[in-house]
Amino acid sequence: MKARLCGLWVFQKDNNIESIAFAGNNSIINDVPCKETAIIEDTCRQLMDGNKNIRKIFDIPLRARGTDFQKSVWKETSEILYGSLSNYREVAKCAGNMVP
């Protein structure tokens, strides 16, 4: 399922957000039914609140896809606190990729 809200295409599978794309990228939306769901609407609301600096913690139900390493990187990046800084090296190290 997808919906075009807040200038984005928001894609939902089951009860999770699967991907988000800028609305101008129409090449990825073929063959996906369009329907605004409560999860998609809440995701958009949280993203807009974050953009306005109203929200610092997000609870968007994400469906992480990728290799085990990619999933560990998603996990590590999701734990970076609002206002904190990190870099690729630190995230990769925490995710189990030993960087020289």
For 14, 54, 57, 69, 92, the CA distances from 47, given in Å and listed in that order, are: 20, 10, 10, 26, 26
pLDDT greater at residue 22 or residue 29: 22
pLDDT greater at residue 25 or residue 60: 60
Domain locations in the chain?
A: 2-51, 64-100
| Collapsed DSSP state (helix, strand, coil) of residue 91 | helix
Is 63 a residue whose pLDDT tops 60? Answer: yes
Backbone φ and ψ for 47, nearest 5 degrees, come out as: -65, -40
- pLDDT at residue number 46: 92
pLDDT tens column, 64-74 = 888 888 888 88
Is 37 a residue whose pLDDT tops 80? Answer: yes
E strands along 23-95, which residues? none
Is 22 a residue whose pLDDT tops 90? Answer: no
E strands along the chain, which residues? 2-5, 8-13, 16-22
Could you tell me the pTM of the whole model?
0.72
